[in-house]
A and B are shown apart, each in its own frame.
Chain A
Amino acid sequence: MKHKPPVWADRFFAWFCAPHLLHDLQGDLHERFYERVRDYGVRSARFQFVLDVFSFFRPYILRRRKHGFSQTPFRMLFGHYLKSAFRSMKRDKQFLVVNTFGLALGIGCSLLLIAYVYTELSYDRYVDDPSSVYRISCSTVIDTKETQFAPIPPAIGLALKEALPEIKDMARFMTWSYTTGNSSVTYQDKSFYQQNIFIADSTIFKVITFRFLAGNAAALRQPDRVVLSHTLATKIFGPDYLERRDLLQTVIRIDKQELAVGGVVKDIPYSSHWHPEALVGWQGRGNDNVWDDSHAYTYIRVNPGTDPQVLQKRITDFIAANENIKKVAEAFGAKVAVFLQPLTDIHHHSDKMYELSPGGSVGYMYAFSVLALFFLFSSGINYTNLAIAASAHRFKEIGVRKVIGALRHQIQKQFMIEAVLITFIAAAIGVGIFYLLIPRFNTLMEYKLDMSIFRQREFLMTATGVVLVLSLLSGFYPAFYLSWINPIQILKSKLSGGPGKAHFRKTLLMTQFAISAIMIVAVLVVSAQMRYLSQKDLGFSKENVMIITIPDAYMKDLLVLKEKLLVVTGVSGAAVCDYVPGYSDMVDEHYVERANGEMKSSTVSRLHFDKDYLRVLGLEVIQGRNFDPTNEADYKAAYLVNEAAVKAYGWDKTPQGPLGRKIEGFNYGKKGQVIGVVKDVNLFSLKQKVAPLVMGLTPYASFLYVKTDGEHPTEMVSRIEQTYKAVMSNEPMTYQFLDERLMRLYESDQKMNAALVSGSQVLIFISCLGLFGLSAFMVTQRTKEIGVRKVLGASLREIMVLLTRDYVRLIFMANLVAIPLGYLLMQQWLKSYAYRVDLSWWMALVPVSLTVLLALLSISFQVARASRANPVRTLRYE
């Protein structure tokens, strides 16, 4: 019995349970707990225990407090406060509705953002003891240019494991399909493409935690076995696959290789940087002796108590002394470093080459946390403002309370209780709003949140904490303020004007609108930048280019397909290339001749394509010539470079020029000469300036670019698909459009934009809601004043101006603070782009006019009603 039920829950139970029931009930609870530990595991048992404890929250079980002097008044008063809170809520229905709804909206939206941040923070923590798991990655430094790689050469992991006893387990894996990441999976008559298939060491199960639904960890020790994820198994065999008795003997085919199912594992949680769908044994597929090619993702689990810094030192020493690595480093002319990276850091701090998944952005997490704070702040301000405004109706109540002997702290308590009560009602509605918003959020952010997050204890506690703090903060000022009032004044004079200290409220209101204005600036800038990116002339034609992915198995049919497509009506060109924007960056080591004739290694972007590529994309050769496929030598010894490369290597400064310069590709082993220079264009992301690029000729590659005339796109696609199917024996066609693909490079910023737009809408709405409520109270307070003015001859327009002037001034001031702030903020963001829009004056005008307009709209309804009212009626009883 090494596990214990949660102590706090146990104590809580002991606290509220009546003494005569405690003994046996607690026994029952514990017995159930151990039963569940046995049947469902500790986590679930602990959770169920808490549920059980709460389900015992029943009247007959609750402890009856002993009657005593100190207890009774408290209980009485507490009940009394609740009662008066409910009564005043009933009286001020508008206050209640506006307030609860504003709070609920704020809470719902911020919960969503908190859930996002929470999920991001919990990345890769599903692994048992995540703090003892590290990834080993490497970097090369050539000419002071450092390039970091997520995978390392497979031999290094093995050597480290043998040399260092701190490493308890080591596991490597690599992608099954290099080129497109897509592999065909076939079982009986079912066949489809699948991504995320990996070749892995059998020790992977010791390092990363998997739960087996069938089979066991031994499966990967045999070379002809495959371990499937639950999702993939369902996709192949249907939902009842676990009932098949022959499951573990069933043979499926992956890219034509026959593999028997060796096991099925539960899907790895969404918040993981690695999502394998199938794992195949390393033996016979991986090469343990490769020292110079980084393709093995290597993870280790260290012995408990290992100091990562000491281990890192030992690794560095080992690498420095290793002969094989020395040889590789010499060959590249590079400094090679190998370093540990904690598993839980990978998601947030990884922008290395060949990452398994795009990393999460820490910037987002900050942005979203700030946004969540904005929401809470804004709705809290609403509450405070409205509560103070509404208190005008309650002055008498407070006066009477004070006169009959209520102490200050008792009045404070009363208003705090009211705030907590309303906030928790709002929180309940907020959870409902959260539920309604999830699908929209998931589509916008391409994320996977669901209600199950409330089952996570830490999240639930955070959420409750946030709501509690919100209620205390928003209730604090009204409570403080109202308890301060002098009862004699209130009761003596018929105090009808609003509370005196209005500038606190005004400051709050200003803050609220300043936040809205900042948001509007952000939205304007981000969307302007997005528009700029999509419209910017990249130097090549990105419209009407369709990119077809060619499966590895059909590579030999590529040329036939290309020929056939060229005669399809509407197709004006086709070209082969090994790169699509947004897939992995194409970086490699090359030896490049410098201006002085010296050969030096260098990390550059590379592309391989055929002779038609430049024409299809409208790229220009400005010096030398394009590839010539009839010239056999061009395949083996010819390179094109871009202008940036010419500049980077100093060729433009020598009379000899770029043509004829020597380049040696490392991985591809091609030694060749520069035959031409291509005009600089932005083939990659606009976040970077155009970088040196080396291009080689290839007849075969994974992507076929097809240029069409752009008319009737749907029919076009179906015509191309028909041709494709005729050539590729009915394989399904995977395709995308170049312009869409390019925009995906800025996906994370587009998501940011979408989140900002929706977020600012809600924020502005909350602010307007507050203003709406506030103006209602203001108007009722000034009804008589308005009446008098009307009698004395003020026109409708004058009264309108009088009532709105203050607010308009406030909002102008809010903008005055907010716009420079928003500008500074957005300038920082724009710095992440090498090519960006300029901030212009209209970006300041829009938030000002928008906030003023919305504010006027939300108050004008009340004001118009008041100014039209007949003064005879409002002044009759005076």
Chain B
Amino acid sequence: MKGTNLGEFEELVLLTVGILQEEAYSIAIAKEIKRVTKRNVIFAVVHSALNRLEEKGYVDSKLGGATQERGGRSKRIFTISAAGKKALLRSKTQRDALWSLMPKVVFKNI
């Protein structure tokens, strides 16, 4: 297994996989990220993030249904694994901890 830390983009992807549930395949994920974050995500980058996540064991994948638009090729549906959930939680707890330490003054003038 590669390093177990979760990159910022990876976290986004992982969260989106969680959100989309059974619909989580690469195109849907890329679109959802674009819709929510307004970032211009390059499709290949999403795929490479998914690939890394799978190598780290944070997502599992299986082949899903095929459509005519795909030339009869099936989709690879990703699901978040137990390790993935843990990693997400860990990252959230870390951030919450940091947020709780943030002095309110910092945001006063925004």
Contacts and interface: CB of A to CB of B under 8 A. Distances in A.
A7 interface: no
A190 interface: no
Contacts of B47: 25, 28, 56, 61
A24 B69 contact: no
Contacts of B66: 27
B48 interface: yes
Contact of B71 (A26, A32, A55): A26
Interface string B65-81: 01111110111100000
B44 A30 contact: no
Contacts, number: 54
Contact of A23 (B44, B68, B73): B73
29 contacts: A1-B69, A24-B25, A24-B26, A24-B63, A24-B73, A24-B74, A25-B47, A26-B71, A27-B74, A27-B75, A28-B25, A28-B27, A28-B43, A28-B47, A28-B70, A30-B69, A30-B70, A30-B73, A31-B70, A32-B27, A34-B69, A35-B69, A52-B43, A52-B44, A55-B42, A55-B43, A55-B44, A58-B44, A61-B47
A496 to B, nearest CB: 53
A21 to B, nearest CB: 8
Interface residues of A, number: 18
Interface string B10-31: 0000000000000001110000
A26 B48 contact: no
A60 interface: yes
B51 A32 contact: no
A322 to B, nearest CB: 56
Size category, B interface? 20 to 34
A56 B26 CA distance: 13
Nearest to B71: A30
A32 B73 contact: no
A1 B74 contact: no
A58 B48 contact: yes
A20 to B, nearest CB: 11
Interface in B48-104: 48, 51, 63, 66-71, 73-76
Contacts of A32: 27, 43
Interface in A38-84: 52, 55-56, 58, 60-61
Interface of A: 1, 23-28, 30-32, 34-35, 52, 55-56, 58, 60-61
Nearest to B52: A60
A59 to B, nearest CB: 9
B69 A31 contact: yes
B51 A31 contact: no
Contacts of A34: 69
Contacts of B27: 28, 31-32
Contact of B73 (A27, A35, A52, A60): A27
4 A-B pairs closest in CB distance: A27-B73, A27-B70, A55-B44, A24-B76
Given A31-B27, A32-B27, A60 B48 contact: yes
Nearest to B44: A55
A61 B69 CA distance: 23
A347 to B, nearest CB: 38
A114 B69 CA distance: 39
Contacts of A35: 69
A478 to B, nearest CB: 38
Contacts of B43: 28, 32, 52, 55
Contacts of B70: 27-28, 30-31
Contacts of B44: 52, 55-56, 58
Contacts of B42: 55
Given A28-B43, A34-B69, A23 B74 contact: yes
Given A26-B73, A30-B69, A32-B27, 15 more contacts: A23-B63, A23-B74, A24-B73, A27-B70, A27-B71, A27-B73, A28-B25, A28-B26, A30-B70, A31-B67, A31-B70, A34-B69, A52-B43, A58-B48, A60-B48
Contacts of A31: 27, 67, 69-70
A58 B50 CA distance: 13
A143 B12 CA distance: 82
